[in-house]
Amino acid sequence: MHHALIAHAIVSDDDRIADADGRFPDALRNEADWKQFQAALDAAALTLVGRASHEAAPNTKRRRRLILSHRVRGLVEDGEGWWFNAADMPLGEALARLLPEGGTVAVPGGQAVFDLVGPAGFAEFHLARAHGVRLSGGRGLFSACEQGAAAADLLAAGGLVPGPAELIDPDAPVSLTVWRRP
């Protein structure tokens, strides 16, 4: 069984995914990125998301969702998805229980989820960037970004190699770079 974890995020020029209040800011909202992101979530067998991200974006499409939270014990199902506490069970075990045949796991984050998996744990990382946007004091893609580490350096150190940056919205401008395991 193989679980391909494929991350999806849009960041500011300073590698932030949220503002200083922890909210996803309008400056990072982009229709071209959103369409690609939604298609990837639709194609995945499972979505791995943090509690705050889950609460900010309810599961209206009824996708199969694994929600990281310290508020539960182990692996618990409710009407919204599966809730998972990584302190009680390794992520690989939770994935094996939910996807015994393997499959693609879309990982839209947030930071706690990206840190849990770590750059070395992703098969791919689809990193969109909203050029010209800075979110000083905001939440970093990885917690290390808040200490000055660049997301690109962390992904490279995790063994991922960037493909060419594709301008997906020239008006915004927003580019997308897909980092893959060679």
Give all domains of the chain, ordered by start, each with its CATH number.
Answer: 3-180 (3.40.430.10)
pLDDT band at residue 55 using 50, 70 and 90 as cut-offs: confident
Tell me the average pLDDT across 111-115. Answer: 97
Query: Quick one: 46 exposed, middle or buried, by C-beta within 10 A (0-12, 13-18, 19+)?
Result: buried
What is the separation of C-alpha 4 from the centre of its chain, rounded to a whole number of angstroms? 13
- Range list of H helices, 44-161: 51-56, 91-98, 111-117, 151-157
Whether the pLDDT of residue 121 is over 80: the answer is yes
Mean pLDDT of 129-139: 96
Strand pairing of 75-78 and 81-84?
antiparallel
162 exposure class (CB count in 10 Å sphere: 0-12, 13-18, 19+): middle
Whether 49 and 67 have beta carbons less than 8 Å apart is answered as yes
pLDDT digits (tens, 9 = 90+) for 138-153: 999 999 999 999 999 9
Read off the pLDDT of each residue in 5-34 and give the average, rounded to a whole number: 96
State the pLDDT confidence band at 58, using cuts at 50, 70 and 90.
Answer: low
Q: Which among 144, 138, 154, 131 has a CA at the least distance from the CA of 7?
A: 154
The pLDDT tens digits of the residues spanning 158-180 come to 999 999 999 999 999 999 999 99
pLDDT score of 56? 73
CA 75 to chain centre: 20
Calculate mean pLDDT across residues 151-158. 98
pLDDT of residue 62: 78
Q: Mean pLDDT of all residues in the chain?
A: 94
